[in-house]
Homo-oligomer: A and B are copies of this chain.
Amino acid sequence: MTPTTPSASPAISTPGRAAASEARKRRIRDAALSLFSQFGLRGASLDAIADQAGVSKTNLLYYFPSKEKLYISVLQQILNTWLEPIRAIDANQTPEAAIRHYIRIKVELSRDHEQSSRLFCLEMIQGAPLLKEELQHDLRALVEEKSKVIEGWIAHGSLLPVDPHHLIYLLWGATQHYADFAVQIDAISGKTLSDPDFFEATVDNIQRIVLGGLLSR
């Protein structure tokens, strides 16, 4: 069995090695995400991570020189995924379309990346020792930029007056709650986002409350 594509040249620096190495790293990172998101940095053991990844602990430490390096590597990957939806907000959209779309995307994230959401939440709860810097620069600038867009909509009269920061926090809180508190929601409603009907009902209700409110006028 040759794990790589057959090549004519005999030996110019090991063909599929790098790929295999990357694959193994990915397996380790996946296992790490799974356990860190459940038990946190301190609570998850390298033993358990190595075990779940199907490698030996020593081998894990060959690819990631320390537990903290591995943790940071996992966190970095998450942050990018996390900032994408808010980047998509654009002044040329109508506020209704933009917010409607944003809510759907975020609930999709809660459904498809539950573990990432939880690890991010864990890191925040601990005071974000490893992310604070990036929050204060990148994320802050991003939120500031999108707040301007929201204020534009308000000035134009297409959105009722609201503090853009608090609107963003409400959207974050409401949507991420379905990932981080999935157990509680399951205990009460008997449903999770993996149920298509429940997913649609979630999106629809958040959209309706945020956009239309609860009181008839």
Interface residues of A (CB under 8 A from B): 37-43, 95-96, 99, 118, 121-122, 124-128, 132, 135-136, 139-140, 143, 157, 159-160, 162-163, 165-167, 169-170, 172-178, 180-181, 183-185, 187-189, 201-202, 205-206, 208-217
Contact A170–B213 (Cβ < 8 Å): no
Q: Which residue of B lies closest to A94 (CB)?
A: B215
Which one of B118, B140, B213 lies within 8 Å of A188 (CB-CB)?
B140
When A135-B184, A181-B172 are in contact, do A209 and B210 touch as well, CB less than 8 Å?
A: yes
When A166-B205, A183-B127 are in contact, do A213 and B211 touch as well, CB less than 8 Å?
A: yes
User: Could you tell me the distance in whole angstroms from the C-beta of A71 to the nearest C-beta in chain B?
Assistant: 12
Contact B209–A162 (Cβ < 8 Å): yes
Q: What's the dominant secondary structure at chain A's contact region?
A: helix
User: Could you tell me the distance in whole angstroms from the C-beta of A204 to the nearest C-beta in chain B?
Assistant: 8
When A162-B214, A163-B201, A214-B160 are in contact, do A170 and B124 touch as well, CB less than 8 Å?
A: no
Contact A40–B43 (Cβ < 8 Å): yes
When A140-B188, A213-B214 are in contact, do A124 and B160 touch as well, CB less than 8 Å?
A: no
User: Could you tell me the distance in whole angstroms from the C-beta of A104 to the nearest C-beta in chain B?
Assistant: 14
User: Could you tell me the distance in whole angstroms from the C-beta of A190 to the nearest C-beta in chain B?
Assistant: 9
Residues in B whose Cβ lies below 8 Å from that of A183: 124, 127-128, 132, 135
